Structure 1
């Protein structure tokens, strides 16, 4: 049977949903965006199905679909545990879409789709393994080895943002124990993400806290407090990256999310991570993304394409 020519990928964000149709060479042949309905599950599903059916009609296709969804999915039940799309929390989206659309639908989270896209024609193209490290509003990741997404038993391989921060770092910088949206406390996400950077500034300054862009402007003007905030953040992020190296030992790390636009991370993060590693261990290249936010839907389409071509063991 000939291989399909087109695969759909949808990247679901808190404000918009983007559908792309990619050919076998991962070239985008069609693109569509709509606002994300965030508070009503039925409205959300109708909007998703409407995008897919419009693409079917305009392209004359009935393609398999890959979906990049924010948050974590319960491997046992398929229910979404946490997401920035509130109507998904506690709901099982995959069986509903498969029934409504009558086609193959493959689900991954948005960070996994980002990593998969950057591993194919992106910043980590042809790398034996890569870790797509997202530092935006939250902190998440995807791990790709030999060109394929590594999910793990629970589908959460790479969820470094919910590793606990080292107690020694909390003590060293006299940081508060912050509650995480996952229901636990002192997760790395609370300190190293974009929102975590704001919380660090709030803690060290006693004010409401500033965004990364505002802090970078102050630091570049010589503000000592802003410089101190970034120094603490860099050390915390470096320690987290060192743990990623010990756990996954990726050949390449690609940064994504809003903080990936901070130039100093590419200069200073390798040394910050090396300071927390065993002497003699090397830090992998840390690269900016090629596709950025646009890679999520492309990665979702690739997820669908790979699901249609399962790994076969050599004799």
Structure 2
């Protein structure tokens, strides 16, 4: 094992998701020099802490670097008053002081962020949004969320949830237009955007119309094969997403929007979304470029490493 070097320029980022935990070690130019991915212990908090500690110990041994600060992207929301986590995707974390417990295990400062915001931060640095004064990274996966960066720095807000557009409410006029139900959301609210425009939301739209899709990929494939019901679901999805992104433009006015998550692979979105957004904007407002991500599913862990880097 190489001798530990705290000044090597190596920084670690850890992306914690519902199904996997990924650690990346980045060098001074943010190139990934080490990566390890493991399954997430979803229901055993002790096993979760052990898993993260083992990941860091292995990275120390492999790189020969003892990082003085580690960035961690956590799923869900952390109560800034109590430090307790709320995470629907990793139930073991809910109600726990994840940050302080991990810091006690790892014995070094931690920079905590939201996993979706870490995606945005990564794409703002050397990613698809490189060179733009501001950007919004919008995740369209199992859920919908994202983060907002200005001049390469994350704008988190007072509660750490700035740009949490997935839990805005779909307007009653759009629900009525397509005869859609008002759906409950895991956050405790009703009619949240993510229930309709995420990947799982797209599949739910298809089922509402009488289709049988269990996933967005199935709906897209059916539409491409000529299924009229699936195509109708995609058309409704596009209009709802266009309205949601138009709201983003009017609230934060980003210079570019980068899409992440499973739907980022759906190429038709990039050509169709600008017109769908423009429909919901008033005259004279320009739609920003809509771009695919550069780093794909490695973006969250890389963005977490950036959190640590920016703290120094």
| TM-score of the aligned structures, taking structure 2 as reference length | 0.95
Aligned to 2:145, the other structure's residue is in SS state strand
Contact 2:8 2:65 in 1 (8 A): no
Contact 1:151 1:157 in 2 (8 A): yes
CA shift at 1:182, angstroms?
A: 0.3
Q: Which deviations, in whole Å up to 9, do the C-alpha atoms of 1:208-257 show, x marking residues without a partner?
A: 44422222222122221111110100000000000000110000100000
Structure 1 residue ranges without an equivalent (≥5): 309-315
Q: How does 1:104-115 map to 2 (within 5 A)?
A: 104-115=109-120
Q: Is 2:297 aligned against 1:275?
A: no
RMSD: 1.3
CA shift at 1:59, angstroms?
A: 2.1
Q: Is 2:243 aligned against 1:239?
A: yes
Which residue of 1 is the match for residue 10 of structure 2? 6
Q: How does 1:47-86 map to 2 (within 5 A)?
A: 47-63=51-67, 64-86=69-91
Q: Is 2:145 aligned against 1:145?
A: no
Which residue of 1 is the match for residue 298 of structure 2? 294
In 2: Cα distance, 1:170 partner to 1:305 partner: 44
In 1: Cα distance, 2:208 partner to 2:37 partner: 38
Q: Is 2:217 aligned against 1:187?
A: no
CA shift at 1:99, angstroms?
A: 1.6
Which residue of 1 is the match for residue 209 of structure 2? 204
In 1: Cα distance, 2:272 partner to 2:42 partner: 38
Q: How does 1:11-50 map to 2 (within 5 A)?
A: 11-50=15-54
Which residue of 2 is the match for residue 311 of structure 1? none
In 1: Cα distance, 2:255 partner to 2:232 partner: 31
Q: Is 2:159 aligned against 1:169?
A: no
| TM-score of the aligned structures, taking structure 1 as reference length | 0.94
In 2: Cα distance, 1:59 partner to 1:178 partner: 48
In 2: Cα distance, 1:50 partner to 1:37 partner: 13
CA shift at 1:104, angstroms?
A: 1.1
Contact 1:165 1:186 in 2 (8 A): yes
Which residue of 1 is the match for residue 259 of structure 2? 255
CA shift at 1:3, angstroms?
A: 6.6
Instruction: Tell me which of 73, 92, 99 is aligned to 1:94.
Output: 99
Structure 1 residue runs of 4+, over 6 Å off?
none
Aligned residues: 306
Aligned to 2:174, the other structure's residue is in SS state helix
Q: Is 2:162 aligned against 1:157?
A: yes
In 1: Cα distance, 2:64 partner to 2:216 partner: 45
In 1: Cα distance, 2:219 partner to 2:307 partner: 37
The farther-off stretch of 77-86 and 16-25 is: 77-86
Contact 1:72 1:83 in 2 (8 A): no
In 2: Cα distance, 1:228 partner to 1:257 partner: 22
Q: Which deviations, in whole Å up to 9, do the C-alpha atoms of 1:85-123 show, x marking residues without a partner?
A: 110111110011112211110111111111111011110
